[in-house]
Amino acid sequence: MAHCHSERSEESLFVFGAASATLSSRAKLLPWGHDISRPYGVMYLAAMSSVENPTEKTLAELRVRTPESVTSLFAELREKANKEQRRIEKAEQFEQFRVKWVGRKSGILTQVTDNWLKPADAGLKRIVGQALNEFRNHLQSLVEQARQDLDARATQVADTRERVDLSLPGVIRPIGSRHLIRQVFQEIEDIFFSIGFSVVEGPEIETPYYNFEALNIPEFHPVRDDMDTFYIDLPKGAPVPLLLRTHTSPMQIRTMEKHKPPVRVIVPGKVYRRDNPDATHSFMFHQVEGLAVDTDITFCDFTGTIEYFVKQFFGPSVKTRFRPSYFPFTEPSVEFDASCPFCGGTGTAAAGGTCSKCKGAAWIELFGAGMVDPAVYGFVNYDAKKVSGFAFGIGIDRLAMLKYGIDDIQVFFQNDVRFLRQFP
């Protein structure tokens, strides 16, 4: 029995007999005790429990010879596995458990196959085989269960960490407001909506054809000089030059190309000119183009529409007038003025003295417009003999400055919240 008394290392206890096990619990170790007729069973059992790695020995070496003792032997092994599995708390422990019990190379399951089953006596082989199958299934479910428990635990930990406390006050983020320019766009759109116009938008990068030629501004026409234009650097051999549109008028052409008359649109958008920045100039500013074309539109419809718009925008007491002007794509062309809304069109400030807004002129220049030049219809396949219409181009920044008493166009682009907050 020398092998039974080999050193009682801690490891052997771990494998097959917890150090904390009491004698009475060890009494369950009876399996191999049954086979040997020893008078001092308890003492013997204590010794057997310290058998180092019994799965490294054959059944014959363990002196297991009956089916009952085989069953008990497996039951004991199973109990050990159960106990160890219950102690798993971490992934590393799980891995240790898995390798120790079902690891292919030297796991206990493999040992049992090699040491208990293979060399078993013919009489025991069947029962050992059966017990081994059950044991294997049992181990597999232990491993699987442990894996699931670990997963569930990990999820639980993550859930706790990430739990959202719905009773906490939220983060209050200040909501911005629309930029004043946007608000003015909206005001103007609403006014024109109400009289049957619709809104279209177009590209900010244009071809010279739409920005100039089709608007009756041929190359070398002197008005091109007024519109110091940003051309885009293109690779050599690019099919057409491109530029940043200098006005929203190209959309007159694009709209008429697409739609047969009647046409009634407004076009809000950004435009670009190579102007040096000062209180009234910016390299980028905003326009709302207007275009109405039908078979019977008169100059009266034109001025009536503009008058309606100006009264809606500045107030019913504001009067309009127009002066002759020049644009290549309108004929006749006009410049609209409004009676100064600040001094009531008197040129005199309420507190006396000259009105600072109109500089005493009583009128304020608003925007350019005119009846669509018949030459333009030629570019869009409209019959110039049948249709007529008007167009206008409102500078939004200028209008916003007038209406809201802003004296420097640059504040629109500086994004200073002290300015923006005044127009919530």
Whole-angstrom distance, CA of residue 67 vs CA of residue 129: 11
Q: How far is the CB of 287 from ligand PHE (least distance, A)?
A: 6
Sort residue 53 into left (φ over 0), alpha (ψ -120 to 50) or beta.
left
Looking at the Cβ atoms of 98 and 245, the one nearer to ligand PHE is 245
Nearer to ligand PHE by Cβ, of 85 and 229: the residue is: 229
Task: Answer whether 31's CB lies under 8 Å from 49's CB.
Answer: no
User: CB of residue 358 vs ligand PHE: minimum separation in angstroms?
Assistant: 21
**Shortest approach of ligand PHE to residue 327 CB, angstroms?**
4
**Nearer to ligand PHE by C-beta: 32 or 210?**
210
Q: Least Å distance between CB 283 and ligand PHE?
A: 14
Residue with Cβ nearer ligand PHE (17 or 208): 208
Q: Which is nearer to ligand PHE, 151 or 228 (CB)?
A: 228
Return phi, psi of residue 285, to 5°.
-150, -170
- CB of residue 308 vs ligand PHE: minimum separation in angstroms? 17
The dihedral formed by the CA atoms of 179, 181, 186 and 191, expressed in degrees to the nearest 10:
150
Nearest to 180 by CA among 369, 414, 338: 414
CB of 249 to ligand PHE, least distance (A): 4
Closer Cβ to ligand PHE, 229 or 249, answer by number: 249
Give the nearer residue to ligand PHE in terms of CB position, either 26 or 245.
Answer: 245
Contact 257, 207 (CB under 8 A): no
Kindly tell me which of 290 and 345 has the beta carbon lying closer to ligand PHE: 290
Which residue pairs, CB below 8 angstroms and at least 24 apart, start in 354-362? 357/402
Cβ atoms of 197 and 266 closer than 8 Å: yes
DSSP-based three-state secondary structure for 19 = coil
Are the beta carbons of 396 and 188 closer than 8 angstroms?
A: yes
CB of 317 to ligand PHE, least distance (A): 26
Q: Which residues contact ligand PHE by CB under 6 A?
A: 247, 249, 289, 327, 330, 368-370, 391-393
Cβ-proximal residue to ligand PHE, closest one: 393
Give the residue from 92, 61, 83 showing the smallest Cα distance to 13: 83
Give yes or no for a contact between 286 and 395, defined as CB atoms under 8 angstroms apart. Answer: yes
Nearest to 13 by CA among 4, 1, 21, 5: 21
The strand pair at 263-272 and 198-199 is best described as: parallel
Q: Are 83 and 18 in contact (CB under 8 A)?
A: yes
Separation CA 258–CA 205 (nearest Å): 19
Cβ proximity to ligand PHE: between 98 and 273 the closer is 273
Nearest-approach distance from CB 415 to ligand PHE, in angstroms: 25
Distance CA(341)–CA(347), nearest Å, equals 10
Cα 5 to Cα 286: distance, rounded to the nearest angstrom = 99
Q: Which is nearer to ligand PHE, 81 or 334 (CB)?
A: 334
Q: Least distance (Å) from ligand PHE to the CB of residue 221?
A: 14
Which helix or strand (DSSP H or E) is residue 286 part of? strand 284-294
Report, in Å, the least distance between residue 359 CB and ligand PHE.
22
